[in-house]
Amino acid sequence: MKILCVVGARPNFVKIAPILRAIDAVNACRRGAGSMLESVLVHTEQHYDDAMSAAFFTDLRIPRPKWTLGVGSGSHATQTAEVMRRFEPVVIEERPHVVLVVGDVNSTVACALTAAKLGTRVAHVEAGLRSFDRTMPEELNRLVTDALSDFLFTSEDSANENLRREGQPAEKVFFVGNVMIDSLLSCRQLARRSTIRERVGLTRQRNGDDYVLVTMHRPSNVDVESKLEPILRALAEMSWELPVIFPAHPRTRTRIAEFGLERYVDPNGTNGSPAIIRPGRISLLEPIGYLDFLQLMADARLVLTDSGGIQEETTCLGVPCLTLRENTERPVTLTAGTNTLVGTDAGRILECARKAIGNGRCVASLPPMWDGHAAERIVQILAEHLPE
């Protein structure tokens, strides 16, 4: 059975790693007894920088992709169309039994659509999540991908409910757990060896190693000056109390420069050189690798983010998380986790951050099936349902 596995952007790498490992594990058990599973990895290269892509392959020990499509950046239509154009001949040549896509990025929907049009079955990992906000590009990607998929692998109960409401037959929906948490649990030990705090100059600062960690890259937050400015103002204000460390996505860094908002940041601290950590300024870093980021997250007093996956990772780590959005497609992180939606109002962000810092660490409680074995369940289900 041949499984064509697709990755394109940073969060995809974290999700595919445990699935590839689970396929290898099944093969190791079957050696000499039973047919083997074949995984073929395709990287669309929607993300292409070393820091956004190659570093994750190294940290997560993902094998070199058999196919790299060189798609790169572009408008939504261009990027999606370009992935489809370049992915189609791969599916035709490889003739897989199933195309497996993860998450909700443009590469996810483009490859799902390409495969479905060629009559190839599609498996979607992280199916059914809904923010109910169609202005988010990811929400459209999720809706279309799920509509096209034959296997809908879900990570939380809200997703099962959403798919049921949308009329998906129960036989297609498999509640398997969270592959991002598989990666986190399997890398937690290794990440503890990271020297990232020393490298960014954190331990030499006041307050020992207490700090606030920030990530932000959603177009709705960073592409509009009237949104980005108050958020940065609130973060700079917060840095009078605790260092604010912000490994910035290239999009965010570009916008800060474009809108002339450098007064809020110290634009230094690449992976190799320590950041300047000054009260009143946000310490901007280059994007950092998976293991370093995991360790920074685990040790943070508070995380502020607009990412989807980080809401889940902080829940698992028991670190308080404030999400800079009005909604989340991952409601279990609010009900069972450490996440709070705070929106983008500067006053509210500061108020909630001060409160969360005052409250200290949360007790980590893992949502159902976030046990580190989601990928094994996915591979098992595919092996049972697809022809040998």
When asked if residue 106 is in the footprint of ligand UD1 (CB under 6 A), the reply is yes
When asked if residue 84 is in the footprint of ligand UD1 (CB under 6 A), the reply is no
When asked if residue 325 is in the footprint of ligand UD1 (CB under 6 A), the reply is no
For ligand UD1, the closer of residues 131 and 194 by Cβ is 131
For ligand UD1, the closer of residues 105 and 297 by Cβ is 105
In the complex, what is the shortest distance from the CB of residue 10 to ligand UD1, in angstroms, rounded to a whole number?
4
Which of the ranges 23-31, 102-110, 182-190, 290-298 carries the binding residues for ligand UD1, by CB under 6 A? 102-110
Question: Site for ligand UD1 (CB under 6 A): which residue of 105, 332, 375, 379?
Answer: 105
Active site residues: 217
When asked if residue 46 is in the footprint of ligand UD1 (CB under 6 A), the reply is yes
When asked if residue 139 is in the footprint of ligand UD1 (CB under 6 A), the reply is no
When asked if residue 124 is in the footprint of ligand UD1 (CB under 6 A), the reply is no
Question: Site for ligand UD1 (CB under 6 A): which residue of 6, 7, 11, 100?
Answer: 11
For ligand UD1, the closer of residues 201 and 247 by Cβ is 247
Is 296 in contact with 288 (CB distance < 8 Å)? yes
| Residue whose C-alpha is closest to residue 287's, from 101, 47, 18, 73 | 47
Tell which positions 221-280 bind ligand UD1, by CB under 6 A: 249-251
In the complex, what is the shortest distance from the CB of residue 161 to ligand UD1, in angstroms, rounded to a whole number?
23
In the complex, what is the shortest distance from the CB of residue 57 to ligand UD1, in angstroms, rounded to a whole number?
13
When asked if residue 7 is in the footprint of ligand UD1 (CB under 6 A), the reply is no
* Residue 157 to residues 16, 26, 313, 330, Cα–Cα distance (Å): 21, 27, 17, 10
